[in-house]
Chain A
Amino acid sequence: MTKTLRTLIHIMLAAFLLTGFAHAQGNLEINTPAIAQLKSAMQGRHAQLAPFYASGAVGLAHDGTVQLRDASLVPLPQRGAANNVIAAENADRAALYREIARANGNPSWEAEIRSTFATRWIDKAQPGWWVQNASSVWAKK
């Protein structure tokens, strides 16, 4: 029950993170079918990633990706699945930044959108999660 509740909170948090950027440059809230599809895929995946954030195996990197920072925290039988979910998440994140830039009519904004998202994602990370500072050093939040 509490697990379900926690998952729900995580999903809501992810949804909030994905939509809470109205003040940044350009319209980060812009919506297209492609963006909606990416957001929904990422929200669906969050439940799989959350335990890895909590254990410290996966952290939020300063380049707007998620990274496997300590593989030894993932038992061997789950390591392949962990790699896959991280790769899928990063592919969707890269696509999201690209799509938002494109939907704003400014593909060249991609890098800036990525860095804005990276900062906000790290800001909104739960206590206990691992995040990376600007010089790629990991720290527990």
Chain B
Amino acid sequence: MTVICRQVCSRPERGWRGIVALASLALACLLIPIKLASAQQWALTLDSVDHSGFALRDVRLVWSGGKADLRLGKLRIADREWRDVKLSCGELNFSATGLDCRKGLLKLAGFASLPVSLSYSKASGSLAVVIEQASATSLAQLVPGLAAWKMGGRIDATFELTPQRVAVRAFLADASFADAAGNHAGEHLAASLHAEASRSDSGTAATAWNWTVDFAWTGGELFWQPVYLQAEQQSAHLRGSLDDNSIRIDAATTQLGKLAQVAFSGLWQRREQVLERLTLDAQGIDLDKAVTTLLQPWLDQSALPKLSASGTGSVSFEYAAGALQKLDVGLDSAALSASDAATATNTATNDDAVRFSLAGVNARIPWRRDAATQAEFSAAAGSLGRLPLGALKLPVSMNGLNLKLIKAEIPVLDGKLILENFAAHHDGDNWHWHLGGALEPIAMPLLTERLGLPRMNGVLSAAIPDIGYADGTLSLDGALVVSVFDGFLAVTGLKVVDPLGKSPRLLAEVQMRHLDLGMLTETFSFGDITGYIDGDIKGLELVNWRPQRFDAKLISSPGDYRRRISQRAVQNISSLGGAGAAAAIQRSFLNFFDTFGYSRIGLSCVLADGICRMGGVEAAPLGYVIVKGGGIPALNVIGYNRQVHWDELLSRLQAVIAGNSRPVIR
């Protein structure tokens, strides 16, 4: 028997509603043969069923002793097509009020079968589909785009479809998924979903739906390169509407475990495929958890510093018209610290590894795209390297992408770092900023003790004329002047290229004037030299903070002052020149006096390709004069080694300072 139902089935319905219509059709068709015969077995064949939402070809339904087999030669829903679809019902009951298919199995050619039950009620026009303990593998095969994923686990799902309402309840148990590379994967997943949509009878032509979704992630773990998350009762409740033009989320609240509560709403334009509006409000963010689970994995990818944080924070923003309109960030009693990536993995508690820290941080940053606002940022204490920082306040004026800070004071030991006239702006591609400031005197004994350096006397102070940042380069306009050892050290032309990159490059010119040699040599246990020294380092270039090249010269300052050099200092200077250097005096003569007079002291090094070409105050036969004698008793120290490896020179200097030098005296 062949029944062609084309006319009956071609009503212009949309979407799932057609499935209800199909069920009605099946029922209608089923009722036909019953009237024809009361045989124990019958078959129904349909050539084709066409519908705007789906199409069927070669439909064959066989009923026998309470069991039924439905076979579809071809099933097309939207753009997807399946061939050879079979549905067998272990128990098929039908009556004038409806149809009930229990212990059903849905089988698609080439795929595992899916256990399914169907029931259709004619009175309410509702179709219920129950999928029990279906394997995720077989379900995934039905979904385009998931074919390449490895899936596992079981799904229980109930679908209720009426012309006015769709409801889905689904439970996922012991599920897993993974993409081919393993960069996106989940294991032992458990989750539940309850979604409902009902037609809103707004009277307009467009089909509109109001929907709610409740989702809970109750078990398992997820890895989504580079973030790893564990289930801890994360849940979401979303409410919104859907029509042909847009998807609207009216209100969504999510509880992300202990991480935060996030509320959001938004509007997605389906035709233009654009996000028209999104507002988000995240409160009670556990900073420790947020940094560890969400932020650090990204930093680790680039071997950036390890961050740690505590306290709570909040973030809310509004995105509209293709841009961020407002952003509010708040921190409450937060603590933040950054440590070296390499050392932190080994010794997380090592103080030396902490590069930067702030404690007792409170911040209110209310940024608006088109309005001037005032941000407050304060910290009770902090540290920079081994230096403790005192309480600080940064009141920043914001106006769109222009930031200004008139003045801020950061206590450092017994002094202060003063930042003035900070201004930053974003030109659409990059940030540019500049600032000036000063370092108010810090006692050197305190500073050197903190830095683990030999104790130095005096004070450290500096003027910072103008530091700017543009195009990835930090540059200093003017001179950075540091008062030290009774003289001063001036740095000009300072540039740091790519300061936060993997290989920062520093360029500078350094001038030292009138440094007290007595203080300097005492500090570094070099032996005593009385007098003053000037120095110039031209074309200094550091890559990754290691010297690559420079042209350095140290020479005793001009002027009238006492010039004496101790026996030990002579020995140490000699040993700097290596085995080839020597004092041009007899050992006995050297041992006879404690100090000697000199007229000039000088040493130069031109570093290139890891080799230091050395020189002194003047040339000598086969070498160069490092110390030129003067007064009584006088002596000359001559260096003979013109080329020394930089690493070798450094280790000699360290050996001298450590007092382990074994100078060769001729």
Q: Is B182 an interface residue (CB 8 A)?
A: yes
Q: Is A127 an interface residue (CB 8 A)?
A: no
Instruction: Evaluate contact between A76 and B303: CB separation under 8 angstroms.
Output: no
Q: Which of A4-12, A82-90, A116-124, A131-139 contacts B (4 or more CB under 8 A)?
A: A82-90
Give complex CA distance A76, B157 in Å: 28
Instruction: Evaluate contact between A80 and B221: CB separation under 8 angstroms.
Output: no
Closest CB of chain A to B179's CB: distance in Å? 9
Q: Is A24 an interface residue (CB 8 A)?
A: no
Instruction: Evaluate contact between B300 and A76: CB separation under 8 angstroms.
Output: no
Instruction: Evaluate contact between B182 and A72: CB separation under 8 angstroms.
Output: yes
Instruction: Evaluate contact between A83 and B225: CB separation under 8 angstroms.
Output: yes
Q: Which A residues between 16 and 66 are near B, CB-CB below 8 angstroms?
A: 32-33
Instruction: Evaluate contact between A71 and B181: CB separation under 8 angstroms.
Output: yes
Instruction: Evaluate contact between B228 and A83: CB separation under 8 angstroms.
Output: no
Instruction: Evaluate contact between B178 and A80: CB separation under 8 angstroms.
Output: no
Instruction: Evaluate contact between B185 and A83: CB separation under 8 angstroms.
Output: no
Q: In the assembled complex, which residues on chain B have CB atoms less than 8 Å from the CB atom of A88?
A: 303
Q: Is B226 an interface residue (CB 8 A)?
A: yes
Give complex CA distance A74, B185 in Å: 11
Closest CB of chain A to B225's CB: distance in Å? 7
Instruction: Evaluate contact between B182 and A77: CB separation under 8 angstroms.
Output: no
Q: A32: nearest residue on chain B (CB-CB)?
A: B610
Q: Mark B219-234, 1 if CB is under 8 A from A, else 0.
A: 0011101111000000
Closest CB of chain B to A51's CB: distance in Å? 15
Instruction: Evaluate contact between B223 and A80: CB separation under 8 angstroms.
Output: yes
Instruction: Evaluate contact between B228 and A72: CB separation under 8 angstroms.
Output: no
Q: Mark A83-99, 1 if CB is under 8 A from B, else 0.
A: 11001100000000000
Q: In the assembled complex, which residues on chain B have CB atoms less than 8 Å from the CB atom of A81?
A: 300
Q: In the assembled complex, which residues on chain A have CB atoms less than 8 Å from the CB atom of B178?
A: 71-72
Q: Is B271 an interface residue (CB 8 A)?
A: no
Instruction: Evaluate contact between A76 and B226: CB separation under 8 angstroms.
Output: no
Give complex CA distance A79, B178 in Å: 12
Instruction: Evaluate contact between B187 and A80: CB separation under 8 angstroms.
Output: no
Give complex CA distance A99, B546 in Å: 17
Instruction: Evaluate contact between A74 and B182: CB separation under 8 angstroms.
Output: yes
Instruction: Evaluate contact between A83 and B226: CB separation under 8 angstroms.
Output: yes
Q: Which B residues between 538 and 591 are near A, CB-CB below 8 angstroms?
A: 546
Residue in contact with B181 in the complex, picked from A33, A68, A77, A87, CB distance below 8 Å:
A68
Q: In the assembled complex, which residues on chain A have CB atoms less than 8 Å from the CB atom of B228?
A: 76-77, 79-80
With contacts A81-B300, A84-B301, A88-B303 known, is A76 near B225, CB below 8 A?
no
Closest CB of chain B to A137's CB: distance in Å? 17
Q: In the assembled complex, which residues on chain A have CB atoms less than 8 Å from the CB atom of B546?
A: 33
Which among A72, A80, A81 has the greatest number of chain B C-beta atoms within 10 A?
Answer: A80
Give complex CA distance A87, B225 in Å: 13
Give complex CA distance A71, B301 in Å: 17
Q: Is B93 an interface residue (CB 8 A)?
A: no
Q: In the assembled complex, which residues on chain A have CB atoms less than 8 Å from the CB atom of B187?
A: 76
Instruction: Evaluate contact between A84 and B181: CB separation under 8 angstroms.
Output: no
Q: B179: nearest residue on chain A (CB-CB)?
A: A71
Residue in contact with A79 in the complex, picked from B223, B300, B301, B610, CB distance below 8 Å:
B223
With contacts A68-B182, A72-B182 known, is A80 near B300, CB below 8 A?
yes
Q: In the assembled complex, which residues on chain B have CB atoms less than 8 Å from the CB atom of A32?
A: 610
Give complex CA distance A77, B187 in Å: 11
Q: Which B residues between 170 and 201 are near A, CB-CB below 8 angstroms?
A: 178, 181-183, 185-187
Closest CB of chain B to A36's CB: distance in Å? 10
Closest CB of chain A to B503's CB: distance in Å? 10
Instruction: Evaluate contact between A71 and B183: CB separation under 8 angstroms.
Output: yes
Q: Is B297 an interface residue (CB 8 A)?
A: yes
Instruction: Evaluate contact between B226 and A71: CB separation under 8 angstroms.
Output: no
Instruction: Evaluate contact between B222 and A80: CB separation under 8 angstroms.
Output: no
Instruction: Evaluate contact between A84 and B182: CB separation under 8 angstroms.
Output: no
Give complex CA distance A77, B221 in Å: 8
Q: B226: nearest residue on chain A (CB-CB)?
A: A80
Give complex CA distance A32, B181 in Å: 37
Q: In the assembled complex, which residues on chain A have CB atoms less than 8 Å from the CB atom of B226?
A: 80, 83-84
Give complex CA distance A32, B160 in Å: 72
Instruction: Evaluate contact between B183 and A83: CB separation under 8 angstroms.
Output: yes
With contacts A81-B300, A84-B300 known, is A76 near B183, CB below 8 A?
no
Q: In the assembled complex, which residues on chain A have CB atoms less than 8 Å from the CB atom of B222?
A: 76
Instruction: Evaluate contact between A76 and B301: CB separation under 8 angstroms.
Output: no
Q: In the assembled complex, which residues on chain B have CB atoms less than 8 Å from the CB atom of A87?
A: 301
Q: A78: nearest residue on chain B (CB-CB)?
A: B228
Residue in contact with B185 in the complex, picked from A68, A70, A76, A84, CB distance below 8 Å:
A76
Q: In the assembled complex, which residues on chain A have CB atoms less than 8 Å from the CB atom of B610?
A: 32-33
Known A79-B183, A81-B300, A83-B183; further 9 A-B contacts with Cβ < 8 A = A68-B182, A76-B186, A76-B187, A76-B222, A77-B223, A77-B228, A79-B223, A80-B297, A83-B225
Q: Ordered nearest first, which 4 A-B pairs have the shortest CB separation? A: A71-B182, A80-B226, A76-B223, A79-B223
17 CB-based A-B contacts, threshold 8 Å: A33-B546, A71-B178, A71-B183, A76-B221, A76-B222, A77-B221, A77-B223, A77-B228, A79-B185, A79-B225, A80-B223, A80-B225, A80-B297, A80-B300, A83-B225, A84-B303, A88-B303
